[in-house]
């Protein structure tokens, strides 16, 4: 599909996860796949958005989006696989905190290595993921592939478009429909589902 990021298959996702170097980078990828967020939204997630004050993983990720004249909130349930990865990541951060007395916890889920008071930059996140896609020769993949993969797979699973729109934050169904990939196998299944 020219001009649109590639929708990743299960095998491609597993291959990319194997080549991503750090737990942070794997989580960056997983958050995109399990939430359908844009890369700019992913990097700006705060620790308090995903972890409770006692350190547990929240049930829902609340995203605030500014849309023209108003603020829109999306409440995205946290998938069990993403929950596991978040909990594991938190353990790593807590261990780092205990091992290094000078370590100051960052408010960001994906802190910048240069300045923990700031989150990783969009271009840096893009480069991390693009390098992974390139290293395993996945043509047409970009940071937007995670979003398209998430939303397309929900659509293929029969989730109502209005529900997907609530998660994705698209302002109308027309915009959302442009995101969703249609595979020839989808068309085949649609026709074969007819029972007269």
Output the pLDDT for position 101: 59
Res 43 pLDDT > 80:
yes
The answer as to whether 145 is a domain residue is yes
Find the mean pLDDT for residues 134-158: 92
Res 107 pLDDT > 60:
yes
The answer as to whether 2 is a domain residue is no
Output the pLDDT for position 166: 85
DSSP per-residue string spanning 29-77:
HHHHHHH---HHHHHT-BHHHHB-TTSPBPSEEEEEEEETTEEEEEEEE
> The domain containing residue 34 runs over which residues?
10-192
The answer as to whether 112 is a domain residue is yes
Find the mean pLDDT for residues 106-113: 90
Res 60 pLDDT > 60:
yes
Do 34 and 45 contact (CB within 8 A), yes or no? no
Q: How far apart are CA 130 and CA 127, in angstroms?
A: 5
pTM of the model: 0.87
Output the pLDDT for position 115: 84
Do 61 and 35 contact (CB within 8 A), yes or no? yes
Helices 23-35 & 122-135 angle (0-180, nearest 10): 90
Lowest mean pLDDT among 60-69, 107-116, 159-168: 60-69
Do 62 and 75 contact (CB within 8 A), yes or no? yes
DSSP letter assigned to residue 111: B
Block residue for tokens 């095998």 = 11
Res 180 pLDDT > 70:
yes
Output the pLDDT for position 126: 95
The domain total for the chain is 1
Output the pLDDT for position 2: 46
The answer as to whether 5 is a domain residue is no
The answer as to whether 4 is a domain residue is no
| CATH number (domain holding residue 25) | 1.10.443.10
Which one has a higher pLDDT value, 167 or 71?
167
The pLDDT tens digits of the residues spanning 120-133 come to: 999 999 999 999 99
The answer as to whether 118 is a domain residue is yes
Vertex 162 angle, CA 151 and 37, to 5°: 35
The answer as to whether 133 is a domain residue is yes
The pLDDT tens digits of the residues spanning 80-98 come to: 999 999 999 999 888 876 6
134 CB neighbour count, 10 Å cutoff: 12
Closest CA to 155 of 167, 143, 145: 167
Whole-number CA gyration radius for the chain: 18
Find the mean pLDDT for residues 65-91: 86
- Return the structure tokens found at 122: 């969009």
Q: Is 183 helix (H, G, I), strand (E, B) or coil?
A: coil
The answer as to whether 3 is a domain residue is no
């Amino acid at each position: 599909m020219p001009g649109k990021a590639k929708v990743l298959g299960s095998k491609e996702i597993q291959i990319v996860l194997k080549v991503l170097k750090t737990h942070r980078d794997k989580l960056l990828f997983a958050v995109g796949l399990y939430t359908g967020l844009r890369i700019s939204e992913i990097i700006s997630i705060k620790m308090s958005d995903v972890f409770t004050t006692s350190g547990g993983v929240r049930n829902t990720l609340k995203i605030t989006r500014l849309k023209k004249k108003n603020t829109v909130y999306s409440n995205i349930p946290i998938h069990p696989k993403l929950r596991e990865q978040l909990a594991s990541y938190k353990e790593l951060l807590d261990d780092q905190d205990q091992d290094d007395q000078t370590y100051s916890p960052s408010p960001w889920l994906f802190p910048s290595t240069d300045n923990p008071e700031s989150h990783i930059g969009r271009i840096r996140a893009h480069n991390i993921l693009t390098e992974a896609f390139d290293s395993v020769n996945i043509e047409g993949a970009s940071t937007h592939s995670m979003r398209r993969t998430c939303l397309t797979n929900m659509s293929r699973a029969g989730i109502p478009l209005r529900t997907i729109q609530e998660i994705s934050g698209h302002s109308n169904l027309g915009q959302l429909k442009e995101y969703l990939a249609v595979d020839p196998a989808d068309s085949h299944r649609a026709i074969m589902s007819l029972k007269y």
